[in-house]
């Protein structure tokens, strides 16, 4: 399986740290987030990783390079100053992602989640890994019922930022900047998304306070 790491964002909530450091290279427990993900993907059997670049993308490229020292083939989708958000970034990278389902990981999470064993049913367009909604978050994103992702339910879980998509999910999209969330909500209404819950270590490294807590 090919994987994509979403690493183009500005990291506004982590400023001033991200004024000079791309959020994907912010260190947790002595290691950049991006390198944590690369090691986990290699362990899961991934051979090729696509990383989208935006804010301070040259620093990401200089640090990661070809990916050889991680036993990976790393290629880049450079968005420059026109950061395309989640949906637009994935859509732009589709030619690099191949014809089979691919894994997507948000760069700004910290987790010990194994990235192997996430499978799609024959009629599913995506699979989302959900986590229990953390106390710092006002509400969850999706519900899960018998392995199916729903937009509402008795317990709303949080989207972990780890997912698998079929390329066909983006077939009708136009190039440009857009979020994947409205597409996920529409597909959930059509019962085209499976899901699972990961209850282990997972943190959204979105603010200086959360980063400090992890590094304490």
What average pLDDT is seen over the chain?
93
Contacts of residue 133, Cβ cutoff 8 Å, sequence gap at least 6: 139, 140, 156, 157, 158
Which stretches of the chain score pLDDT less than 50?
none
Contacts of residue 98, Cβ cutoff 8 Å, sequence gap at least 6: 2, 167
Per-residue model confidence as pLDDT tens digits over 160-201: 999 999 999 999 999 999 999 999 999 999 999 999 999 999
- pLDDT for 191 equals 97
CA distance 41 to 156: 28
| 3-state DSSP percent of the chain in helix, strand and coil, to 5 | 30, 25, 45
Q: Are 26 and 9 in contact (CB under 8 A)?
A: no
CATH number at residue 89: 3.90.550.10
Closest CA to 92 of 64, 38, 52: 52
Domain membership of residue 193 as a residue range = 3-215
- pLDDT for 114 equals 94
Other C-beta atoms closer than 10 Å to the C-beta of 116 total: 14
- pLDDT for 111 equals 96
Structural tokens at position 63: 């640090």
Structural tokens at position 45: 């059997």
How many domains would you assign to the chain? 1
- pLDDT for 12 equals 82
Structural tokens at position 121: 């049913």
- pLDDT for 39 equals 97
Q: Are 157 and 132 in contact (CB under 8 A)?
A: yes
Handedness of CA 183, 185, 188, 194 (dihedral sign): positive
Residues listed for the chain: 216
Q: pTM for the whole thing?
A: 0.94
């Amino acid at each position: 399986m090919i994987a994509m790491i979403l690493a183009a964002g500005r990291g506004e909530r982590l400023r001033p740290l991200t004024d000079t450091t791309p959020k994907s290279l912010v260190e947790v427990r002595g290691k950049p987030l991006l390198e944590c993900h690369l090691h986990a993907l290699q362990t899961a059997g991934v051979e090729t990783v696509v990383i989208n670049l935006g804010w301070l993308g040259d620093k990401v490229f200089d640090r990661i390079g070809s990916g050889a020292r991680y036993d990976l083939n790393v290629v880049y989708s450079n968005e420059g100053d026109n950061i395309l958000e989640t949906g637009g970034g994935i859509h732009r990278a589709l030619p690099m992602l191949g014809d089979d389902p691919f894994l997507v990981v948000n760069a700004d999470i910290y987790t010990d989640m194994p990235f192997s064993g996430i499978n799609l049913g024959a009629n599913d367009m995506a699979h989302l890994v959900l986590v229990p909604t953390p106390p710092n978050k006002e509400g969850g994103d999706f519900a899960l019922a018998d392995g199916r992702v729903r937009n509402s339910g008795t317990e709303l879980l949080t989207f972990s930022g780890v997912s698998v998509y079929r390329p066909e999910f983006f077939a009708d999209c136009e190039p440009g900047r857009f979020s994947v969330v409205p597409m996920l909500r529409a597909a959930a209404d059509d019962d085209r998304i499976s899901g699972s819950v990961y209850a282990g270590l997972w943190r959204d490294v979105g603010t200086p306070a959360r980063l400090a807590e992890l590094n304490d």
